[in-house]
Amino acid sequence: MNLNMMEMLAKIQEMQAEMKKTQEGLEKLTVETEAGGGMVKVIANGLKKIIKIQVDKDIIDKEDPEMMEDLIIAAVNKAIEAADELHKSEMQKAAASMIPNIPGLDLSKFGL
């Protein structure tokens, strides 16, 4: 194996290690969203996993469970969107440190 191929393999391994480190970091980063003026709060991590849902007792109404359900759905959807943006941002930062800035190179197809 020639030297260039060895260097390329080493660079690929370095990139894989950096991406793994970024993924592990995303598990620890969180976003918090709310719906209904804060009556429902949702916390998700950078891996797009819901960690916690808080529901204000004032919206618990046995006669109108649909209102609470709608607020929970809205807050969860917001949390997933925010976590997705956080995920993309962190992965772009990690990729930017490893991939040279080439004008016209579009990495969005790769989630970066």
Query: Looking at residue 108, what is its pLDDT?
Result: 60
Q: Compute the mean pLDDT over every residue in the chain, rounded to the nearest whole number.
A: 86
For residue range 37-51, list pLDDT tens digits in order.
Answer: 999 999 999 999 999
Give residue 110's identity as a one-letter amino acid code.
F
Domains delineated in the chain: 29-97 (3.30.1310.10)
For residue range 12-23, list pLDDT tens digits in order.
Answer: 888 888 888 888
Measured CA distances, 97 to 8, 22, 105 (Å): 16, 12, 15
> If we measure between CA atoms, which residue out of 14, 78, 39, 38 comes closest to residue 86?
78
**Does position 69 have pLDDT exceeding 70, yes or no?**
yes
Check: CB of residue 17 under 8 Å from CB of residue 9: no
Q: At 100, is the pLDDT very low, low, confident or very high (cuts 50, 70, 90)?
A: low
SS (H, E, C) the chain: CCHHHHHHHHHHHHHHHHHHHHHHHHHHCEEEEEECCCCEEEEEECCCCEEEEEECHHHCCCCCHHHHHHHHHHHHHHHHHHHHHHHHHHHHHHHHCCCCCCCCCCCHHHCC
